Structure 1
Amino acid sequence: MKPSLRFFLAGFLLLILQTGLCYGIKWIALSKTPLALALNQTQHCKQLEGLVVSQVQLCRSNLELMQTIVQAAREVIKTCRKTFSDMRWNCSSIELAPNYLLDLERGTRESAFVYALSAAAISHTIARACTTGDLPGCSCGPIPDAPMKMKKSGSQANKLMHLHNSEVGRQVLKASLEMKCKCHGVSGSCSIKTCWKGLQELRDIALDLKTKYLSATKVVHRPMGTRKYLVPKDIDIRPVKETELIYLQSSPDFCMKNEKVGSHGTQDRQCNKTSNGSDSCDLMCCGRGYNPYMDKVVERCHCKYHWCCYVTCKKCERTVERYVCK
């Protein structure tokens, strides 16, 4: 990746973290950018929702990257919703960007996940765009990122938390590099093998971050010597691990709708009657019970393989029973 792309990425991440308590994920509102907006003129930057003044300036000087950043915002929303579709908190409030509820405005474990996923998604999407040739001027080479610093305004504890969780997201992305190989030779003899390091899909990275979300550590901003640090609240004082997600504020149980605490509730959410996991009707419905309904499903059926090269199928309709929370 050429230096200007690296420094844009570092600069963008820096600015989204130091412009307010929840501005750090307001850029996800870029997902609402109209597909018809070409983003090839500097005046287009003012039409983008969720950007503060400093980010608009970055947009103007890096127009070639903005479609990729917009795509990253869309990937964050899609991936977050899918990853938490089986949980009481199903990441639905992320679609309210840039006007979030308290589940993402405060220093909750939910905001910890979204910050980590957002940081990973930006890097992931730019890297993919480089490898597919969608971004001109990308090249290999270890160009160091700009150092992350913070302004003194706002909540220091929240900014430290967001910086930490964003770094966790990037580290999980970095750790996802895996060796991929392709064989060359007569009749697949693999006399020559080409290998390269490739990134996992963002959905796999999100699942790793979900595991960290479930085991996230609650921290407090505590004086240690002449400075304050984030340290685990309920454990003997120790440094926060670089690999763990951290949060400052406890979350509601998300059972009942209460916008004051950022809870949409689980009424009318679909549940799984036979599951023992988080999507079970008992857990999803918080003991309130559930209602059955019948749903028609269209599936491929009676498929036949035709020599040599194609398959034909019919469409069959069947009725299945589903359940939603009371």
Structure 2
Amino acid sequence: MQADQGPPTCHTLPGLSPGQVRLCQLYMDHMNAVAIGARQALLECKHQFQNRRWNCSLLNDVNVFGPVITIASRESAFAHALAAAGVSYAVSRACRDGQLSSCGCSRMGRPKDLRKDWIWGGCGDNLEYGYKFTQNFVDVREKERKFKRGSKEQGRNLMNLHNNEAGRRVSEYLS
């Protein structure tokens, strides 16, 4: 990007599906958190697979995990879950930090298992908002595709949605 150009528009961001472009336009202030979450997912993927044949390295592909994401494999399943978890976590944090106009701190009270001597600030990650936003933004790519019922492609599509959900749930559980 050159100095005289503004930030990229949703239509020029590589790798977004038509539905993601539409959501990008509606939630422009969320895109920095989405990018941070995707970067975190990629770094974690590289860490987890550092000594494997596929180590999440990029090959100038518009998909952040490269061509392996198109192959039905354990690695692809893990990459889908990681991407959803990373985006969910980053959006939840951005809400907490006041960076997004449509959300704020979590409304959850002091956790019951928090030690009494720990001072509770009362502003936690908004996990519910991060979960719901990620459910819309990440899953729209799979939901806008139409496949013949019972086909291998439909099965793969449903598996991707399942793996995205697994990532979101892990993100909620670990936060």
Q: TM-score range by the shorter chain?
A: 0.5 to 0.7
- How far, CA to CA, are the matches of 1:153 and 1:133 in structure 2? 40
Cα offset for 1:115? 0.1
Structure 1 position 49 matched with structure 2 position 43: no
- For residues 118-129 of structure 1, the aligned pairs below 5 Å read 118-129=83-94
What is the aligned length? 140
Instruction: Please give the secondary structure, in 2, of the residue aligned with 1:96.
Output: coil
Structure 1 position 67 matched with structure 2 position 32: yes
Which residue of the partner structure matches residue 76 of structure 2? 111
Q: Which has the larger radius of gyration?
A: 1
- How far, CA to CA, are the matches of 1:60 and 1:138 in structure 2? 17
The unaligned stretches of length 5 or more in structure 1 are 1-33, 177-198, 200-326
Runs of 4 or more off by more than 6 Å in structure 1? 146-149
Structure 1 position 133 matched with structure 2 position 133: no
Match of 2:147 among 138, 153, 172: 153
Asked if 2 retains the 8 angstrom alpha-carbon contact of 1:77 and 1:94, the reply is no
Which residue of the partner structure matches residue 173 of structure 2? 175
User: Which shifted more, 139-148 or 157-166?
Assistant: 139-148
Matching residue's letter, 1:162: N
Cα offset for 1:38? 5.5
Which residue of the partner structure matches residue 63 of structure 2? 98
Cα offset for 1:168? 1.1
- How far, CA to CA, are the matches of 2:96 and 2:60 in structure 1? 29
Matching residue's letter, 1:120: A
Cα offset for 1:122? 0.8
Cα offset for 1:68? 1.4
Which residue of the partner structure matches residue 164 of structure 1? 162
Which residue of the partner structure matches residue 19 of structure 1? none
Percent sequence identity over matched residues?
A: 33
Deviations 1:74-93 (A, max 9, x none): 22222211221122321114
Asked if 2 retains the 8 angstrom alpha-carbon contact of 1:118 and 1:166, the reply is yes
Cα offset for 1:95? 6.0
User: Which shifted more, 92-101 or 59-68?
Assistant: 92-101
- For residues 271-282 of structure 1, the aligned pairs below 5 Å read none
Deviations 1:131-175 (A, max 9, x none): 222223423356794797945426111011111111111111111
TM-score by length of 1: 0.38
Asked if 1 retains the 8 angstrom alpha-carbon contact of 2:41 and 2:85, the reply is no
Asked if 2 retains the 8 angstrom alpha-carbon contact of 1:77 and 1:95, the reply is no
Matching residue's letter, 1:153: F
The unaligned stretches of length 5 or more in structure 2 are 108-127
- How far, CA to CA, are the matches of 2:14 and 2:26 in structure 1? 17
Structure 1 position 83 matched with structure 2 position 42: no
Cα offset for 1:108? 0.8
Q: Tell me: higher relative CO, structure 1 or 2? Use CA pairs within 8 A at least 6 residues apart.
A: 2
Structure with greater proportional helix content: 2
Structure with greater proportional strand content: 1
Deviations 1:15-61 (A, max 9, x none): xxxxxxxxxxxxxxxxxxx597764xxx7212211112222121111
- How far, CA to CA, are the matches of 2:58 and 2:146 in structure 1? 29
